[in-house]
């Protein structure tokens, strides 16, 4: 059954007047008719089955609440050094499927891409649509929050109970325990930090260590910028959901 995230201003008691974007999707892509049913996720995170009672104007009626629990039981923040080309869009989509709650893009000293906050903001609508569609596809109950573009000096705003930075030099030095040990501790939130293609400058790692952010290895192999956050999210999901 197709799923849709619903804005607050679309809700009228037990009815929904669907927004234009979702309305067009129902009519032109799904070709729904009156009497068809869809799943709607309200801003509260609660999920209901709604029946289409007037496809022409996009009016839906609430029928049944669903008891769903598809979210990770810890709040995960991904701080991600912007990569070049469309790799960022790939990470947005896959990180959403893997359960991330907040994504914080940033520019580091070795970032290859040339952009600024104003240019980044112009693409926000496209990025938000990627997050929404990935959340619907993966049965999420919330859409991850995408923060404005930042620099490393803003990092203290996004710290959690556990804070880790993927650092290739840790792998070269044979350190393979910090990530695993951290995930075995008790925590309600975690921030994972991954650099762009060029990695991190030593001064940036030193700056993070002053904030008690722990550099960690992701194993014996050096992963690409777009692979590392997905690996870390997969491991977090495994330890929180499949090891219990």
What the block records as the tokens of 33 is: 């008719």
pLDDT at 170: 64
- pLDDT tens digits for range 53-108: 999 999 999 999 999 999 999 999 999 998 887 899 999 999 999 999 999 999 88
Task: Read off the CATH number of the domain in which 12 is found.
Answer: 2.40.240.20
Look at strands 102-107 and 150-151 and give their pairing: parallel
Q: What is the CATH number of the domain that holds 175?
A: 3.40.1280.10
Read off the pLDDT of residues 101-144 as tens digits, 9 standing for 90 and up: 999 999 888 777 778 888 888 999 999 999 999 999 999 999 99
Query: Quick one: pLDDT band at residue 174, thresholds 50, 70, 90?
Result: low
C-alpha to C-alpha distance for 105 and 113, rounded to whole angstroms: 12
Residue 198 structural domain: 75-242
Same domain, 171 and 87: yes
Q: Would you call 20 helix, strand, or coil by DSSP?
A: helix
Residues 81 and 61 in one domain: no
Mean pLDDT of the chain: 92
**In the predicted structure, residue 163 carries a pLDDT above the cut 90:** yes
Long-range contacts of 63-68 (CB under 8 A, 24+ apart): 63/37, 66/39, 68/139, 68/141
User: Does residue 57 sit in the same domain as residue 116?
Assistant: no
Domain boundary among 66, 100, 116: 66
pLDDT value, residue 190: 98
Q: Two tokens at 46?
A: 């609660």
Q: What is the pLDDT of residue 182?
A: 93
- Give pTM, 2 decimals: 0.91
Residue 52 near residue 34, CB atoms below 8 Å: yes
Contact assessment for residue 89 and residue 226, using Cβ atoms and an 8 Å cutoff: no
Q: Is the dihedral of CA 44, 45, 51, 57 positive or negative?
A: positive
Q: Please indicate, yes or no, whether residues 33 and 149 belong to a single structural domain of this protein.
A: no
Last-in-domain residue among 46, 66, 86:
66
Same domain, 54 and 92: no
Q: Are residues 62 and 121 in the same domain?
A: no
Q: Is 79 found in the same domain as 49?
A: no
Q: What's the structural domain count of the chain?
A: 2
Are 147 and 188 contained in the same domain? yes
98 and 38 in one domain? no
Are 144 and 56 in the same domain? no
Query: What confidence score (pLDDT) does residue 168 get?
Result: 79
37, 66, 95: which is the final residue of a domain?
66
Asked if pLDDT for residue 229 goes beyond 90, the answer is yes
Within this chain, do residues 17 and 122 fall inside the same structural domain, yes or no?
Answer: no
Share of the chain above pLDDT 70, in %: 97
Mean pLDDT, to the nearest integer, of 194-201?
A: 88
Within this chain, do residues 134 and 18 fall inside the same structural domain, yes or no?
Answer: no
């Amino acid at each position: 059954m197709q799923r849709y995230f619903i804005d607050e201003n679309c809700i009228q008691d037990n009815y929904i007047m669907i927004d234009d974007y979702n309305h067009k999707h129902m009519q032109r892509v799904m070709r729904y008719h009156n009497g068809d049913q869809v799943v709607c996720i309200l801003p509260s995170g609660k999920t209901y089955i709604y029946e289409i009672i007037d496809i022409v104007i996009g009016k839906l009626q609430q029928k049944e609440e669903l008891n769903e629990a598809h979210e990770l039981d810890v709040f995960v923040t991904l701080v991600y050094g912007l990569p070049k080309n469309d790799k960022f869009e790939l990470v947005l989509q896959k990180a959403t499927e893997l359960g991330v709650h907040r994504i914080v893009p940033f520019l580091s000293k070795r970032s290859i891409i040339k952009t600024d906050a104003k240019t980044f903001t112009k693409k926000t609508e496209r990025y938000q649509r990627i997050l929404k569609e990935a959340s619907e596809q993966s049965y999420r109950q919330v859409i991850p929050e995408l923060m404005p573009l930042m620099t490393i000096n803003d990092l203290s705003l996004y710290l959690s109970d556990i804070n880790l930075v993927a650092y290739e030099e840790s792998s070269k030095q044979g350190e393979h325990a910090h990530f695993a040990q951290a995930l075995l501790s008790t925590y309600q939130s975690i921030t994972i930090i991954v650099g762009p293609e060029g990695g991190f400058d030593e001064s940036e790692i030193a700056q993070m260590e002053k904030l008690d952010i722990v550099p960690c290895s992701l194993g014996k192999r050096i992963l690409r910028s777009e692979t590392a956050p997905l690996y870390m999210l997969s491991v977090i999901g495994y330890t929180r959901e499949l090891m219990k």
